Structure 1
């Protein structure tokens, strides 16, 4: 496959058509991928309509857009192409479905198992972006090697250790009533970790949830040693 991936705001429609109509060299097809193509389509609707009438037999045009009006002439031409064209509609994954996405992706892409609690922890650390979650799972799959299961320990070791340590520092300062130190440490987290805006809240949530679980266990009469063992 020969891939051409220009910027949507920099490429001319004639250049796109030239790429699509050029026979691929040492490849079965020539593919043109244009991301964020909404304005590109608006600016070149007429030429695209003509191309849809007679597309290149050896070229594949992929356009990603934020919206696709199905009542336009271009959309109707796409439908009329039948099996020669496909429209994929991808909706954003809701937050409560992200742990299930993590589990399914780890299993289908890498053959790795991951529990619901572990998947929830990964979402807390990595944030609500499915692409970022997939990237973190890819790294975890390499990290665990031949092991079949991704565990909480793996996530803490690869993703969460430093953030958890820094979060503890902020929480300790808050508990001690040292507002200046808490704010200073939090500011340092954002300055030294480019991903802190995605992960800081997750790290805090992880710690506070463990604290609340410990409190609930103690109120139910659990021994301190039992609580400590449960939270390790």
Structure 2
């Protein structure tokens, strides 16, 4: 039985990851900013003894360190860490605000990097740290340049670079670190015109996470496990 920590687990991809891993019998530590109002997540925990809910605001460095310390004190080791929490602020180029851009970078790029640093100390040998990125963050795919998701794209490109920078350190410790594009998914963020249901995306991602090897650490993948250009 694997122990899995998921950030941003109150809705969308994060909630579905928690659901599917819980149904598979894994131990799930599901985190979100406001557990008291996360009704779907609370229902999951009530129906599955293997689901634990922890409060975590990923832009709060002290909260990150506190939760990592709690896990360490009780001897919990993570087999899989999934950085899923993220935000999307729609601002067209030329109309960007410092507040919106900064908040996007902090949540989507800075926070996952700090989470990985903190929780690397409680990862099991051979553990995997996955960050949910986006095809929008790839220069090679050239998606929607000039569109209203520009700051989101920039934040995901920054996340991808952070993973490249951290990969050698963690690989030397036997930990796998990688970025994944979940596809265009029918969530609050992706909208109902998206191509994939959340169940389809997560099912494919789980298979790809399972087959990920140490040799692939530091790379960027599509949800089916195929490599993507940076």
TM-score of the superposed pair, with normalisation by structure 1 = 0.30
Q: Greater helix percent: which structure?
A: 1
TM-score of the superposed pair, with normalisation by structure 2 = 0.30
Structure with more relative contact order (C-alpha pairs < 8 Å, separation 6 or more): 2
Q: Which has the larger radius of gyration?
A: 1
